[in-house]
Amino acid sequence: MARAKTKLDDPSLYVNRELALLAFQERVLEEAVDPANPLLERAKYLAIFSSNLAEFYMVRVAGLKQQIAAGVSGVSDDGLTAAEQLAQVRERIPAMLASARQHFEVLRAELAEAGIALLDYAGLNEEQRAVADAYFESDVFPVLTPLAFDPGRPFPHISNLSMNIAIVVTGPDGEERFARVKVPKALPRLVPVTAEGSGAGREHAFVWLDQLVVAHAGSLFPGYEVVAAHPFRITRDAEMVIQELEADDLLETIEQGIRQRRFGSVVRMTVEPTMPDHIRDILVENLDMDPADVITIEPPLGMSDLFALSKIDRPDLKYATFVPALTVLLGEGEESDIFTAIRERDILLHHPYESFQPVVSLIRQAAHDPDVLAIKMTLYRVGTDSPIVEALIDAAVAGKEVACLVELKARFDEESNIEWARALEAAGVHVVYGLVGLKTHSKVVLVVRREGGKIRRYVHVGTGNYNTVTAMLYTDLGLLTCDEKTGEDASALFNLVTGYARKNDYRRFLVAPVDLRERLSALINREIEHAQAGRGGRMILKMNSLVDQKMIRLLYEASQAGVDIDLLVRGVCCLRPGVSGISENIRVWSVVGRFLEHSRIYYFANNGDPDVYIGSADLMPRNLDRRVEVLAPVRDSKLANRLRDEVLEAYLRDTAKTRAMRPDGTYERVAAPEGEAPYNAQEALLKMRKSVVRRRKRKGTPQKRKSGRRKG
């Protein structure tokens, strides 16, 4: 056993986390060239790739550079120092960016054929140029602010992810001078140049705003000659260091961190090949950055602005629209009684295939129901115009006890969450910001209701955020139940995050950092025992990321014991499947499709008596040890079987959007068997939910549901 343990610690058995994350970005980029995707959706994938890569620099590369600066001597699980990881990242990314530009050119040609032209300023015809020039005079020129750099004027601040033009001018004395012009974020990056009255409503032409600024740079410097104008874009360190133990007011500390983020160190600058070395040197010196972090790529810089194309009214170039199925059959006319539906049996919702409305209805009804005494919930990423937050405010105004944990440390949503926290506090909601040193990532709602002289607790546990927008874009699961022990666990959880309660014996929930790691490990060890006893062992684990070394080692041990394991890991996977003697019984799949795979499902066969959990936690050290996370059991046998037979099996059948991970950490597309059409799990699940609703409608008035078997 000691020999096996040493072997399982071997760095060669682990994929580097940063390189695994880049491999995921490559899978996203593949969708931009997949002809099965509509044209405008392919443009969106390019935008997503660009946005994801910027975040990778802001967070992951910034973290590596911080480790190097701090002299951290440790190595990652795969044996690389921070400097070695950074070197490999720098080596890999230029090829990815070059590939993205090649894909862009192919996509641009296909869009042009479909009537959507992304043009260079030099390629505009006379009519288009007249439209562009008029727009510059009326809308762009008044907003621009040329900033000179000379002994009397310091080098200007360059904000994160902003598009800028480095300009060199000469005056009457012939001396060259440097200036910078920021391309305004307030204006669209893609400027429409279709002349009014032309085309048939399906023709669209755009020019890049930065090219428009370059073309008219001379108007910004009258009396000077513009001899050079070159776009550039920088990415800054966006990680915030929060000293919670020393913070008297966490909200104020977060606000200060958001302001400081604007001035984070520069971790990347992208420039076009035409930029001369002397201009690049000026930027590198004054931005105090490493020359190795300058990346030269063909234009356009910052392709995340391609998101704007999604606003074009061309449904023929987009995914077919759909309406999420309302599978919880409630009353008609007025808002129906969600409490009655939950009392009849547990409800499992699979978004976006099924409507998020029952969750909204739960909060709304609770806010206005005179029998509801209290509402408690966690908020991680809420979004704008949240009907759920509005309902919480209504509940507080109505005099109910409302407690809400707003996670201020949700990266890049801090400002939005601060605004919601203040609005909730102003309405009388008890707002807390979580436990010191722990980010609260769990997704839980607790509604306390008086019924017939007794107290009944209704609980929602989800895998995704309480955000009505992402509920249409991400695949997530939600469980609605009034199981008494689940309600007790939910109460204990909220006492943990709002007070000083410590509970180590949750009845239903697996809770991090209390017992989630230990109880998940026990479930895996049980499958090992089944396999060793000749009863077989089977696990299907679906998550966003698999990074934790202890969990990976345990999965290796399970494979060695003969447990059959399928891992559906959308993003980062540091485990190597298919390694002889180590992981030949493990398969790793990644599904990248129309919807972002965000649900977590942990299925343990348990010799024919399965345990199935859903929740917020991935198998990463931060989720298991440094966050408040919850996994909840799906105890209704009918719902548990649905998760296995309908959801998990659909993903394991997918031959349209699935990649299989190889032992070396690379991925290859899964091909459909010869003669068969590719099976798209997400499309199949959409059709499946629609057919369920149609069958119910044909049956007429819904009958009372029969309960499935529950454990315990």
- Residue 607 has φ and ψ, to the nearest 5°, of 55, 45
Between CA 428 and CA 392 the distance in angstroms is 10
Identify the bridge partners of residue 440 per DSSP, sorted by sequence position: 628
| Residue 431 Cα distances to 251, 475, 602, angstroms | 11, 28, 32
- Is residue 350 among the annotated active site residues? no
- Residue type, position 15, single letter: V
**The 116-119 sheet, strands edge to edge:** 116-119, 204-208, 190-192
Largest CA distance in the chain: 91
DSSP one-letter string for 308-371: GGGGS--GGGSPPP---B--S---SSSPP-HHHHHHHS-EEEEETTB-SHHHHHHHHHHHH-TT
DSSP one-letter string for 254-269: HHHHHHHHTTPPEEEE
Between CA 645 and CA 651 the distance in angstroms is 10
Q: Which letter does DSSP use for residue 385 in this model? A: S
Nearest Cα residue to 647 out of 571, 573, 566, 542: 542
Between CA 641 and CA 297 the distance in angstroms is 50
Between CA 588 and CA 15 the distance in angstroms is 13
Annotated active-site residue in 230, 351, 441, 598: 441
Between CA 691 and CA 354 the distance in angstroms is 12
Residue located via tokens 């990242």 = 89
Residue located via tokens 């660009």 = 50
Between CA 460 and CA 458 the distance in angstroms is 7
- CB contact at 8 A, 672 and 678: yes
Long-range contacts of 33-39 (CB under 8 A, 24+ apart): 33/103, 33/106, 33/107, 36/656, 36/678, 38/316, 38/317, 38/318, 38/319, 39/107, 39/110, 39/111, 39/114, 39/116, 39/317
| Residue 84 Cα distances to 23, 72, 88, 221, 567, angstroms | 17, 12, 6, 46, 29
- Residue 85 has φ and ψ, to the nearest 5°, of -65, -45
The dihedral sign for the CA sequence 189, 194, 196, 197: negative
Q: Which residues are catalytic?
A: 441
